[in-house]
Amino acid sequence: MSASPARALAGSRKYGVVGSSRYRMAVAGFLLQAVALFGGASRIDEAAQLPVRLAAIMAIAASLWPLDFGRLRANPRLVLFAAACLALPLLQLLPLPPTLWDRLPGHRIYSEIATATATVGWRPLSLTPDLTVNALLALMVPAAAALAMLYLDGDGRKAAAAAFVLAAFASALLGLAQLAVPGDALRLYRHTSENAPVGLFANRNHQAALLACALPLCAALIPAAGSTRARMVMFGFLAPAVLALTAVLALTGSRMGVLLWSGGMLGAVWTLRARGLLPRPTGRMAVLGWSACAAAIAGLLVAAALFDHEILARFRYQDIAADTRWATLPALLETARAFFPTGAGFGSFASIYPRFEPDAVLSTIYLNQAHDEPLQLAIEGGAPALILLVLFGGWWVRRAASIAWHGRQAPQRGLPRAAVAVTALLMLSSLVDYPLRTPLLASLFAVCCVEMALADRGRGRPASH
């Protein structure tokens, strides 16, 4: 629901174009476009990290201009939590005296090296301060996305959700083109999953995660009000998009993606049911309709397999991170215990883990991430990071329960329910992967968290001026 004419006029008199609803939409659109084009990789050495982070810094400045902090004051808990997340890596960069530094858990061996090389001096807690700075800069992107969404009204946030659906659809089409064109001409990143339709990403699992998350967002975009014909027209556009997303997700060969697709479909059904747009099939026509949908999906998957003969081989692909997870789990736990409760510093995992890696899993492939976010947070951030994780988990459970149980048939709750489904999918994926370390998926997660936070505050309220 857009701002009232009087409110819009008052805002335009005070700030002009800057600070208006259109201005807020332009800021969010600029950031989301940059995130889609440059936010598909997590590696520090990818050149795309620079433009997406510059765009995030510009978006933060533009969101706060013209020094309007009304939305921040209205959401103090969100602001404090975000500040704590940004403050933790900063604290890890504070210099400590040698007598204190060498007593930190896990630092003793490095202190002995410093003594042997005559390089004893004040050092930060982080064993890799340059990578901790990189982690801090990486946090700026989801922070910028959350801030931009905070200043949008309900219609603006729904438009942002539509932008993510368009990004997913574009990523799916690009993935199909990547399969059709040999070589790496259409791949956006140097380090990428070979022979897979990665689309806007470098990793096929992250592509599958975005495509699965787009399913409940599609369900939230179908208008609950208006004529039946308008809803049918929207459904006519979204149904082929959902089928295309499903087909490309299958082509990625991501085993986790299959589970995420199931969760995405359940989230879409839950969203539609709660909005009264998906009644239970009782008549013959309804049953035939559901059967036709199931047959279309099955036929599409068969067609995908016939189109790409390597699809089954991708599902058999031996992924060191997935297939040796139980073998590396004891080493990961040992690494976490060695540096607990202070942590080794954000971004330090790839540098410190080889010290604990068992010989049995050594190969030409190395773990650049733990592929388990809670464990990696424990290793790099220690007890403070786990406390923040627990606080976030408690908040998410309370908000998800409130959105699920209050106003079950409220049409305006479609997007909050989709946000619950998307965040749940990304958290589930984070138990065996690292999707939230890519700017695109981290921004999607942040946007959905803001939608969950604002769900009970009136979707028609305009952005403050």
Task: Give phi and psi for 43, each to the nearest 5.
Answer: -70, 140
Q: Return the bridge partners of 96, or none.
A: 123
**Between β-strands 95-96 and 123-124, what pairing exists: parallel, antiparallel or unpaired?**
antiparallel
Confidence at residue 13, expressed as pLDDT on a 0 to 100 scale: 45
Q: Long-range contact list for 102-109, CB < 8 A, 24+ apart?
A: 104/342, 105/338, 105/339, 105/340, 105/341, 105/342, 106/338, 106/339, 106/344, 106/352, 109/355
Q: Quick one: DSSP state of residue 438?
A: S
b/e for 93-103, b at 16 or more Cβ within 10 A? beeeeeeebbe
Confidence at residue 245, expressed as pLDDT on a 0 to 100 scale: 86
3-state helix, strand, coil in the chain (%, to 5): 70, 0, 30
Confidence at residue 212, expressed as pLDDT on a 0 to 100 scale: 96
CA dist., res. 427 & res. 420, Å (int): 11
Q: Give the pLDDT of the chain (465 residues) as one tens digit per residue.
A: 344 444 433 444 444 566 688 899 999 999 999 999 999 999 999 999 999 999 999 999 999 987 778 889 889 999 999 999 999 999 999 999 999 999 999 999 999 999 999 888 999 999 999 999 999 999 999 999 999 999 998 889 999 999 999 999 999 999 999 988 888 889 999 888 888 899 999 999 999 999 999 999 998 988 766 556 666 666 667 777 788 888 889 888 888 888 899 999 999 988 888 777 766 555 565 555 556 666 666 665 565 555 555 555 555 554 545 556 667 888 899 999 999 999 999 999 999 998 998 877 776 667 788 889 999 999 999 999 999 999 999 999 999 999 988 755 555 678 999 999 999 999 999 999 999 999 999 999 999 999 999 987 654 444 433
Confidence at residue 465, expressed as pLDDT on a 0 to 100 scale: 35
Residue of 89, 41, 167 whose CA lies nearest to 434: 41
Confidence at residue 253, expressed as pLDDT on a 0 to 100 scale: 82
Q: Return the bridge partners of 123, or none.
A: 96
Confidence at residue 460, expressed as pLDDT on a 0 to 100 scale: 40
CB 279 within 8 A of CB 418: no
Instruction: Find the farthest-apart pair of alpha carbons in the chain and give their distance in angstroms, rounded.
Output: 82
Q: Return the bridge partners of 95, or none.
A: 124
Confidence at residue 55, expressed as pLDDT on a 0 to 100 scale: 97
Look at phi and psi of residue 366 and say left if phi exceeds 0, alpha if psi is from -120 to 50, else beta. Answer: beta
Side-chain half-sphere CA neighbours of 339 within 13 A: 31
Number of neighbouring beta carbons within 10 Å of residue 350? 15
Residue of 70, 59, 25, 156 whose CA lies nearest to 443: 59
CB 432 within 8 A of CB 325: yes
For residue 452, the one-letter residue type is: M
